[in-house]
C-alpha cells in the first residue's frame, strides 16, 4: 500500500491454508485476524432496595438506561471487571455478592456475566459514558427505557433470586429475543 | 513491506491516539489489534458414576488428562460450544445439566465456563486432539496426571455439587494458583 494511505487492516474474508473457516485477512500485509467472542461483565448494584442504573451517553441506545457493564480487559478477572465498570460508568464502589446471570448473545458473539453486588457508598455520579446515574426503587425502574434486553433479563432475574443466598445463575429466558423491541422483536 | 516478505502483522506495542493502553500495531500497514480475553467452554461429562477424560495429543501438556473443553467460536453459545468440544475431542454426545464453575485465569486472559453434562451414549472415541478417551470411576481418576489446575478444580467442584440440583457455580479456590505444579506452585 502507498505509505500515505489509511491502513485497511484485515478486511477481506478468506479461508487461510490449513483452516476451516473464513477469517479476515489484511490485503496489504497478509495478516490473518482470528476474531473471538467477547466477554461483557457487569452488575445489578443494590443500596437497600434500590437498584443503580446509568443513562447512556454513548451509542448504541444513547439516553436509555443500562446496568454498569462493559468488555472485560486483558489480564482482568470477571469480578474485577464488574467492579471497574461500576467505577467507570457510575463512580460507584461495589462488593460482588453472586453470579446472577450468564447471557449468550451469539448474534454479536457476546457472553455476558452479570453479578449481583452491593453498593458500598451512596457517593455515585456519572462517568464519561453516562449522562446520569440514579438509584431506583423497583416500581420506579423505567422499564420502557432500558437499553438492552439483557438489562431487562438481569433485573427480572435479580427479583427472582434476591432472597436466595445460593442459586444457579440464570440464562437467556426461553424463546426471548436478544434484539431490541425497536428492531422488531 | 516487500511483496515477497512474510507478513509481520501487528507486532509492535504502541499506545494509539485517543487510547490509554498499549496495543499491538502492525509496522507494515498500521492496523491496530485490539486483543481480548478468551472464553473457554467445556464439561465434566458423566455416565452413571463415571467421568469422561481425554488424554491430550497436543501441546501444552501432551499426554496429560483433561476435560473436553476449548475456545468458544464466533456466533456460538457457551452451551453449544461445550457440546461441540465434547464431540470434537471425545466423539461424545452430551446434554448440559448445570453450570459447574466459572474459572478466571487472568495471567493468560482466559475465562473458563465449565458445565456438568450427561453422556447420551457410551459410544465415544478420540478426536484429532486426543490420544485416548476414557471413563473413570472417581477412585481411578489419574489425579497426578491432570493437564491443568482448572481440571482439578472442576472435578472437585463436581464432587461437591453432584447431589445438588441447584447450586451456585464455583470459582477459583481461594489462594489456588492457576499454574501447574510442575511450574513450581
Ligand atoms: Zn495489514
Ligand atoms: Zn499489517
B72 close to B40: Cβ distance less than 8 angstroms: yes
A71 close to B36: Cβ distance less than 8 angstroms: yes
pLDDT at A160: 96
| Residue numbers in B near A96 (CB within 8 A) | none
The DSSP secondary structure of B95-118, one letter per residue, reads EEEEEEEEEEEGGGTEEEEEEEEE
A114 close to A96: Cβ distance less than 8 angstroms: no
Quick count: other Cβ atoms within 10 Å of Cβ A33? 15
Q: Inform me whether the pLDDT recorded for B27 exceeds 50.
A: yes
pLDDT at A20: 75
Using CB atoms within 10 A of its CB, is residue A169 exposed (0-12), middle (13-18) or buried (19+)?
buried
Question: What angle (nearest 5°) sits at the alpha carbon of residue A121, between those of residues A118 and A126?
Answer: 95
Q: Pick from A5, A26, A29 the residue to mutate for testing the B interface (most B CBs within 10 Å).
A: A29
Q: Inform me whether the pLDDT recorded for B177 exceeds 90.
A: no
Confidence of residue B185 (pLDDT cuts 50, 70, 90): very low
Tell me the CA–centroid distance for residue B59 and ligand 2, in Å.
Answer: 28
- Residue A8 or residue B82, greater confidence: B82
Q: Where are the beta strands (DSSP E) in A37-158?
A: 38-47, 50-56, 65-66, 69-71, 94-105, 110-119, 130-136
Cα–Cα distance between A176 and A154 in angstroms, integer? 13
pLDDT at B20: 75
Report the run of H or E that residue B44 belongs to, with start and end.
strand B38-47
For chain A, 185 residues long, the average pLDDT of each consecutive 10-residue run is: 66 83 83 88 97 96 97 96 98 98 95 98 96 98 97 97 94 84 41
The span from the first CA to the last CA of chain B, in angstroms, equals 44
Ligand nearest to the CA of A28: 1
CB contact under 8 A, A39 and B35: no
Domains in chain B, please, with CATH? Answer: 1-35 (2.20.70), 38-163 (3.90.79.10)
Q: Inform me whether the pLDDT recorded for B8 exceeds 60.
A: yes
pLDDT at B56: 97
Number of CB pairs < 8 Å for A and B?
Answer: 118
**Residue B155 CB partners (closer than 8 Å, separation 6+):** B44, B51, B141, B146
- Residue B70 or residue B185, greater confidence: B70
**Residue B21 CB partners (closer than 8 Å, separation 6+):** B15
How far apart are the CA of A104 and the nearest CA of chain B, in angstroms?
6
Q: For B3-24, what is the mean pLDDT?
A: 78
pLDDT at A4: 60
Q: Inform me whether the pLDDT recorded for B2 exceeds 60.
A: no
Torsion of CA B157, A161, A185, B72, to 10 degrees: -10
For residue A68, the 8-state DSSP code is: S
pLDDT at B3: 55
Q: Is B30 on the interface with A (CB under 8 A)?
A: yes
Model-level ipTM above the cut of 0.95: no
User: Which chain A residue is nearest to residue B161, measuring alpha carbons?
Assistant: A168
Which residue shows C-alpha cell 482482568? A76
For residue A146, the 8-state DSSP code is: B
What mean pLDDT, rounded, does chain B reach?
Answer: 91
Amino acid at each position: 500500500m502507498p505509505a500515505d494511505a489509511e491502513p485497511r487492516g484485515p478486511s477481506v474474508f478468506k479461508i487461510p491454508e490449513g483452516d476451516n473457516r473464513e477469517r479476515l485477512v489484511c490485503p496489504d500485509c497478509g495478516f490473518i485476524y482470528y476474531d473471538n467472542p467477547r466477554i461483557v461483565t457487569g452488575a445489578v448494584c443494590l443500596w437497600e432496595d434500590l437498584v443503580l442504573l446509568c443513562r447512556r451517553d454513548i451509542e448504541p441506545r444513547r439516553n436509555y438506561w443500562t446496568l454498569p457493564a462493559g468488555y472485560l480487559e486483558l489480564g482482568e478477572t470477571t469480578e474485577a471487571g464488574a467492579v471497574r465498570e461500576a467505577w467507570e460508568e457510575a463512580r460507584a464502589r461495589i462488593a460482588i455478592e453472586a453470579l446472577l446471570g450468564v447471557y449468550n448473545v451469539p448474534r454479536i458473539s457476546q457472553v455476558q456475566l452479570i453479578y449481583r453486588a452491593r453498593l458500598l457508598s451512596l457517593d455515585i455520579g456519572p462517568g464519561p459514558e453516562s449522562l446520569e446515574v440514579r438509584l431506583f426503587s423497583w416500581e420506579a425502574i423505567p422499564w420502557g427505557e432500558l437499553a438492552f434486553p439483557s438489562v431487562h433479563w438481569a433485573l427480572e432475574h435479580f427479583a427472582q433470586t434476591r432472597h436466595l443466598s445460593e442459586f444457579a445463575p440464570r440464562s437467556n429466558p426461553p424463546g426471548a429475543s436478544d434484539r431490541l423491541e425497536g428492531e422488531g422483536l
